[in-house]
Amino acid sequence: ANLLTIAILSQLSIPALAGCGRVETTVGKLKSINAETKTIVIDVGGKEESLKLTPMTKGTDKLTSLEGRKVKALSIHGKLIEIGK
């Protein structure tokens, strides 16, 4: 029973250590949208951060109206989950 408990606990802790599923928040100016590569670039205090759009990304319907404006983007492993003001 103790070995089973240890095995289960060790499996649960592996994703936490790897940072899997950790949502990153990026706040900055939406600098560019590249429809060809399906990426956006956000300027965060002079540093450019590129994020990949996916079919599951929320807020893409307003994306062109947000270009040049301050935005808040949520992403996991560089893949954009949601973008908005």
* Position 81 pLDDT exceeds 70: yes
What is the spatial distance between Cα 78 and Cα 63, in angstroms, rounded to a whole number?
A: 17
CA distances from 5 to 11, 12, 16, 17, 57 (A): 10, 11, 17, 19, 38
Of the two residues 4 and 7, the one the predictor is more confident about is: 4
pLDDT tens-digit readout, 10-39: 444 444 444 567 899 999 999 999 999 999
Question: Mean pLDDT across the chain, nearest whole number?
Answer: 83
CA distances from 26 to 4, 14, 74 (A): 40, 26, 6
Q: Using alpha carbons only, give the angle 64, 62, 67 rounded to the nearest 5 degrees.
A: 35
* Position 41 pLDDT exceeds 80: yes
